[in-house]
Amino acid sequence: MGVQERRAREKQELRQEIIGAARDLFVREGFQNVSMRKIAEKIEYSPTTIYLYFEDKADLLDCICEETFAKLERKLTSLEASTADPVERLRRGLRAYIEFGLKHPNDYRVAFLMDIKPEADPERMLRCHSMGDKTFDHLRQAVSTCVAAGLFRPVPVEATSQALWAAIHGLTSLLIVHSSYPWVERSFLIETLLDTIVNGLRAGGGRPDEDDH
């Protein structure tokens, strides 16, 4: 490995170390209570070093959220060729979303559950919004395909997509924030939610094995 390649790798490793430290501090202490100096102290670097990589705390938050959405988007993309059944593909995407949040709870907390106002202006988080829209489009397209194929009732795609996200986000958030609640077996709970919301959209209503009369 040449000198330039080694330096580029070291810079990328330090950048990820900064992001990891910021993520942990944001979750543990809250966005408003974390300073760039505190992040620098955690990784034992000077604040000046962090400013070489990030403009400010809001820029750091934007990058963390962008990376979270990018990881989720790659997961959803990998599922698109897993089955030819549009409804099953939608179910797998919804399940993958929940499983992603449970596997990466700190990423999920920062991207979806953290109160960042007023310090982080939402209009500045352009990278996060762009990748978030790209990720949500997987759900939008999945619903649209099911409706176009006559597998779902002729529901409004955008409203239905938002409602589905609200449902899976709600369960994911509850399982992360209230992990000590006496939930039923986790996979059974997830499948029950997916049955409820997906089968309620099917053309004709009810489960696919029910009689239509």
pLDDT of 118 strictly over 80: no
Contact 76, 138 (CB under 8 A): yes
129 and 169 housed in the same domain: yes
pLDDT of 114 strictly over 70: yes
Write down the mean pLDDT value for the chain.
90
143 and 99 housed in the same domain: yes
Contact 53, 18 (CB under 8 A): yes
96 and 72 housed in the same domain: yes
- What pLDDT, on a 0 to 100 scale, did the predictor assign at position 209? 46
Give CA–CA dist 174/172, Å, rounded. 6
Share of the chain above pLDDT 90, in %: 77
Cα-Cα-Cα-Cα torsion 28, 33, 35, 38, nearest 10 degrees, comes to -50
What are the structure tokens assigned to 136, written together? 């949500």
74 and 140 housed in the same domain: yes
Give the pLDDT mean for 184-207.
Answer: 90
63 and 14 housed in the same domain: no
78 and 173 housed in the same domain: yes
What domain range is 110 assigned to? 56-213
pLDDT of 210 strictly over 50: no
Give the pLDDT mean for 72-94.
Answer: 94
Return the bridge partners of 202, or none. Answer: 152
Secondary structure element (H or E) that encloses residue 124, with its range: none
44 and 63 housed in the same domain: no
Q: Read off the CATH number of the domain in which 152 is found.
A: 1.10.357.10
Q: Read off the CATH number of the domain in which 39 is found.
A: 1.10.10.60
Q: Give the best-scoring range by mean pLDDT among 30-39, 90-99, 114-123.
A: 90-99
- What pLDDT, on a 0 to 100 scale, did the predictor assign at position 204? 78
- Beta-carbon contacts of 3 under 8 Å, excluding residues fewer than 6 positions away, are none
179 and 89 housed in the same domain: yes
pLDDT of 179 strictly over 60: yes
How many domains are contained in the chain? 2
- What pLDDT, on a 0 to 100 scale, did the predictor assign at position 128? 87
pLDDT of 167 strictly over 80: yes
Dihedral sign from CA coordinates of 84, 187, 212, 163: negative
Share of the chain above pLDDT 70, in %: 91
